[in-house]
A and B are shown apart, each in its own frame.
Chain A
Amino acid sequence: MKILVCISAVPDTTSKINFTADHKSLDTSGVQFVINPNDEFGLTRAVWFKEQQGAEVHIATVGETSVESIMRKALAIGADKAFRIDTHPTDGFLVAQALSEQVKKENYDLVICGRESIDYNGNMVSGLIASHCGYSFINTCTGLTIEGDKATATREIDGGSETLETSLPLVVGAQKGLVEESDLKIPNMRGIMSARTKPLEVITPSNIEALTEDLSFEKPASKSEVTLIDEANIDQLIELLHKEAKVL
Chain B
Amino acid sequence: MSVLVYLESENKAYKKSAYELASYAVALAGQLSTEAIGLVINNDTPENIGGLNQIISISNESLNTFTAERYASLLSAAFEKSGSQYLVISSSADSKYIGGMIAAQSGSSFIPNVIALPENIEGKTAFKRTVFTNKGFAYTSSRSELCIIGLSKNSFGVHHSNAVPKVEAMTLELTDDRVTVTNKATVNGKATIADADIVVSAGRGLKGPENWHLVEDLAEVLGAATACSKPVSDLGWRPHSEHVGQTGKPVATNLYIAIGISGAIQHLAGINASKVKVVINNDPEAPFFKAADYGIVGDAFTVVPQLIEKLKVFKAQNA
**8 Å CB contacts to A: which residues of B260-319?**
264-266, 272, 275-276, 278-279, 289-299, 302-303, 306-307, 310-311, 314, 318
- Contact of A215 with B255 at beta-carbon distance under 8 Å, contacts A165-B180, A234-B303 already known: no
- Contact of A156 with B255 at beta-carbon distance under 8 Å, contacts A162-B184, A165-B179, A212-B109 already known: no
- Contact of A242 with B314 at beta-carbon distance under 8 Å, contacts A119-B131, A139-B68, A218-B137 already known: yes
Q: Does A131 contact B289, Cβ atoms closer than 8 Å? A: no
Give the contacting residue for B296; candidates A11, A132, A163, A229; CB below 8 A: A229
- Contact of A216 with B139 at beta-carbon distance under 8 Å, contacts A242-B314, A248-B255 already known: yes
Q: Give the 10 A-B CB pairs with smallest separation, nearest first.
A: A127-B100, A231-B298, A131-B104, A160-B186, A124-B100, A159-B192, A211-B109, A158-B194, A163-B183, A17-B135
Report B-chain residues with C-beta under 8 Å of the C-beta of A125: 100
A interface vs B, CB < 8 Å? 11, 13-17, 19, 26, 37-38, 92-93, 96, 118-128, 130-132, 136-140, 142, 156-167, 175-177, 180-182, 210-220, 223-224, 226-231, 234-235, 237-238, 240-242, 245, 247-248
Q: Does B101 contact A127, Cβ atoms closer than 8 Å? A: yes
Most chain B CB within a 10 A radius of its CB, from A17, A26, A142: A17
Complex-state Cα separation, A181 to B202, whole angstroms: 19
Report A-chain residues with C-beta under 8 Å of the C-beta of B99: 123-124, 127
Query: Which B-chain residue is minimally distant from A209 (CB atoms)?
Result: B143
Give the contacting residue for A37; candidates B193, B247, B275; CB below 8 A: B247
Report A-chain residues with C-beta under 8 Å of the C-beta of B234: 180-182
Partner-contacting stretch, out of B21-29, B46-54, B90-98, B208-216: B90-98
Q: How far is the CB of B207 from chain A (nearest CB, A)?
A: 18
Give the contacting residue for B135; candidates A140, A165, A220, A223; CB below 8 A: A220
Complex-state Cα separation, A59 to B86, whole angstroms: 35
Q: Does A241 contact B136, Cβ atoms closer than 8 Å? A: no
* Residue B195 at the chain A interface, CB threshold 8 Å: yes
Complex-state Cα separation, A126 to B84, whole angstroms: 25
Q: Does A120 contact B131, Cβ atoms closer than 8 Å? A: yes
Q: Does B297 contact A123, Cβ atoms closer than 8 Å? A: no
- Contact of A245 with B276 at beta-carbon distance under 8 Å, contacts A160-B187, A182-B234 already known: yes
Q: How far is the CB of A83 from chain B (nearest CB, A)?
A: 21
* Residue B254 at the chain A interface, CB threshold 8 Å: yes
Complex-state Cα separation, A211 to B92, whole angstroms: 23
Q: Does B278 contact A220, Cβ atoms closer than 8 Å? A: no
Q: Does A127 contact B97, Cβ atoms closer than 8 Å? A: yes
Q: Does B133 contact A118, Cβ atoms closer than 8 Å? A: yes
Q: How many A-B residue pairs have CB under 8 A?
A: 261
Partner-contacting stretch, out of B35-43, B119-127, B162-170: B119-127
Q: Does B306 contact A234, Cβ atoms closer than 8 Å? A: yes
Q: Does B104 contact A157, Cβ atoms closer than 8 Å? A: no
Q: How far is the CB of A36 from chain B (nearest CB, A)?
A: 9
Query: Which B-chain residue is minimally distant from A120 (CB atoms)?
Result: B131
Query: Which B-chain residue is minimally distant from A213 (CB atoms)?
Result: B141
B interface vs A, CB < 8 Å? 68-69, 72, 92-94, 96-101, 103-105, 108-113, 121-122, 124, 126, 130-144, 178-187, 190, 192-195, 197-198, 222, 234, 240-241, 243, 246-248, 254-255, 264-266, 272, 275-276, 278-279, 289-299, 302-303, 306-307, 310-311, 314, 318
- Contact of A137 with B179 at beta-carbon distance under 8 Å, contacts A130-B101, A181-B234, A226-B294 already known: yes
Query: Which B-chain residue is minimally distant from A210 (CB atoms)?
Result: B143
Complex-state Cα separation, A59 to B121, whole angstroms: 38
Report B-chain residues with C-beta under 8 Å of the C-beta of A229: 294-296
Q: Does A215 contact B121, Cβ atoms closer than 8 Å? A: yes
Q: Does A159 contact B187, Cβ atoms closer than 8 Å? A: yes
Q: How far is the CB of A15 from chain B (nearest CB, A)?
A: 8
Q: How far is the CB of A113 from chain B (nearest CB, A)?
A: 10
Q: Does A237 contact B294, Cβ atoms closer than 8 Å? A: yes
Q: How far is the CB of A23 from chain B (nearest CB, A)?
A: 9
Complex-state Cα separation, A92 to B140, whole angstroms: 13
Report A-chain residues with C-beta under 8 Å of the C-beta of B183: 162-163
Q: How far is the CB of A13 from chain B (nearest CB, A)?
A: 5
Report A-chain residues with C-beta under 8 Å of the C-beta of B130: 121
Give the contacting residue for B109; candidates A93, A161, A220; CB below 8 A: A93
Q: How far is the CB of B299 from chain A (nearest CB, A)?
A: 8
Complex-state Cα separation, A226 to B171, whole angstroms: 54
Q: Does B265 contact A14, Cβ atoms closer than 8 Å? A: yes
Q: Does B101 contact A231, Cβ atoms closer than 8 Å? A: no
Q: Does A124 contact B296, Cβ atoms closer than 8 Å? A: no
Q: Does B136 contact A238, Cβ atoms closer than 8 Å? A: no
Give the contacting residue for A13; candidates B180, B184, B266; CB below 8 A: B266
Given contacts A181-B234, A240-B294, A245-B275, 13 further A-B contacts (CB under 8 A): A14-B264, A26-B132, A93-B109, A118-B246, A158-B195, A161-B184, A176-B240, A213-B124, A213-B141, A215-B122, A218-B137, A234-B296, A247-B197
